[in-house]
Amino acid sequence: MTKHRKWLLSCIAIAAFLAVVFLLEQTIPKSSNWSMLFTVLEKGSIYALVAVSMNLVNGFTGLFSLGQAGFMLIGAYTYAIFTIPPEQRASVYQYFDGGIITFMLPAIPSILLAGIVAAFFAFLIGLPVLRLKSDYLAIASLGFAEILRAIFQWDKLGPITNGSNLLRKFTTYHTSLYPIIAAGICIAIMLLVINSSYGRAFKAIREDEIAAEAMGINLFKHKEMSFVISSFFAGIGGALLAMFQTTIQASVFRAALTYEFLLIVVIGGMGSVTGSIIASYLFIACREWWLRFLDSEQYIGDFKVPLLRAGFRNVVFSVVIMIIVLFFSQGIMGTKEFSWQGLGGLIRKIPTIPARLRRKFKKEAQVNE
């Protein structure tokens, strides 16, 4: 397939996808069960953006960083603070005399600002933290994310951050296309970075730091670069998440949120952008939609299905994740990416997949014996 044809196919696929989303949005009423689809699409896109940004550092540069929630927090707050209309500030900042900011910015500049502020903090945090390796880097970045959350909840900063109270009434979007397109553009830019000369340098660092350095790659500079770019997009992800939720509070951005992204990156495959995107949508769809039924009592005819009650969803979810980690340790995609040839090959292979899986498990069973 020629390069041009691939481009054309991709463009058509994207346009068709957006058109379908647009049409569905016009036709499906908000009250129907299917409106969950839009939650999945919106939140899935935002999660995909943050997961890819995390993959850039963890999967492509080989750094074990757990600061994503912290940078999302910065992005979400920066966005929210600058887009609350002045006339609403008195009610939002009711304990802090309406806050100290008396102007508002349009949405898109605020989103960019959210990314820039997150990137700036990442730059500062990266100076000491990126000199550490593996587990130490993970602990230090996690620690910084928690410190940031504590600072944003600090009462003395209340006039800006509203302390530990909710921020609300800021500008949000009105169509599901907004987060999908925004996340799409950001992911496209990250893909360009990954496929550039710098992306190759990141991968070299992941493969072998000592050899990368011997090939003239300045380790610290490139790690910092990857970290800052990743945080920039995590900040934008935070801003979009704020828009999705319509209210934000620092307590949402706990370490547990970072683990969700880590999980997505691992399930999707460390070092695969496509994997992160697919895993994000699957993760959100399972958690918010497909496995919901496990949380309430269900009857098949007169038979009451045992075990189903509030919270059972999380049990099933954990089991599913364990199965994935145990049997598909490379994740859905490994380090492969989507390609039209790959898709064509997959479609041709579909009839033989059950047989192939059986063979795979048989082989694994033999190895285990």
Partner 1 sequence: MSKENVLRVSDVTMQFGGVVAVNNFSMEVNKGDIIGLIGPNGAGKTTAFNCITGVYAPTNGRIEFMGKTIVENHPSGKMKNLYKGENAGKYTKAIAPTPDKITKMGIARTFQNIRLFSSLSVFENVLIAKHLHAKQNIFTATFRLNHKEEKRMREESMALLKEQGLDKYKDDVAGSLPYGLQRRLEIARALATDPKLLLLDEPAAGMNPQESDELMEFIRQIRDEYDLSIFLIEHHMQLVMGVCEHIYVLDYGIKIAEGNPEEIQNNPKVIEAYLGVDE
Note the residues at the interface with partner 1 (CB under 8 A): 189, 192-193, 196-198, 200-201, 203-204, 207-208, 210-219, 225, 229, 335
Two structure tokens written together for 18: 């957006």
With respect to partner 1, which residue has the nearer C-beta, 133 or 358?
A: 133
What is the nearest approach in angstroms of partner 1 to the Cβ of residue 199?
8
Residues 261/141, Cβ–Cβ less than 8 Å: no
Angle between helix 219-245 and helix 68-83 axes, rounded to 10 deg: 50
With respect to partner 1, which residue has the nearer C-beta, 55 or 171?
A: 55
Rounded CA separation 226/219 (Å): 11
With respect to partner 1, which residue has the nearer C-beta, 28 or 191?
A: 191
What is the nearest approach in angstroms of partner 1 to the Cβ of residue 200?
5
Residues 241/76, Cβ–Cβ less than 8 Å: yes
Rounded CA separation 206/210 (Å): 10
With respect to partner 1, which residue has the nearer C-beta, 68 or 226?
A: 226
Beta bridge pairs of residue 304? 299
Residues comprising the chain, all counted: 369
With respect to partner 1, which residue has the nearer C-beta, 215 or 323?
A: 215
What is the nearest approach in angstroms of partner 1 to the Cβ of residue 191?
10
What is the nearest approach in angstroms of partner 1 to the Cβ of residue 130?
14
Beta bridge pairs of residue 299? 304
With respect to partner 1, which residue has the nearer C-beta, 165 or 335?
A: 335
Residue 191 makes CB contacts below 8 A (sequence gap 6+) with 273
How many other CB atoms are there within 10 angstroms of residue 114's CB atom? 31
What is the nearest approach in angstroms of partner 1 to the Cβ of residue 230?
13
Select from 178, 211, 218, 227 the least CA-distant residue to 66: 227
With respect to partner 1, which residue has the nearer C-beta, 209 or 295?
A: 209
What is the nearest approach in angstroms of partner 1 to the Cβ of residue 4?
16
What is the nearest approach in angstroms of partner 1 to the Cβ of residue 240?
21
Task: Produce one character per residue of 159-175: b if its CB has 16 or more CB atoms within 10 Å, e if not.
Answer: eebbbebebbbbbebee
Cα angle 261-220-120, degrees, rounded to a multiple of 5: 60
What is the nearest approach in angstroms of partner 1 to the Cβ of residue 51?
20
Cα angle 287-281-243, degrees, rounded to a multiple of 5: 85
With respect to partner 1, which residue has the nearer C-beta, 172 or 335?
A: 335
What is the nearest approach in angstroms of partner 1 to the Cβ of residue 92?
37
Beta bridge pairs of residue 248? 167
What is the nearest approach in angstroms of partner 1 to the Cβ of residue 15?
22
With respect to partner 1, which residue has the nearer C-beta, 121 or 232?
A: 232
With respect to partner 1, which residue has the nearer C-beta, 138 or 225?
A: 225
β-pairing verdict for 299-300 and 247-248: unpaired
Select from 272, 274, 230, 191 the least CA-distant residue to 68: 230
3-state helix, strand, coil in the chain (%, to 5): 75, 0, 25
Q: Quickly tell me which residue has 């890819």 as its tokens.
A: 52
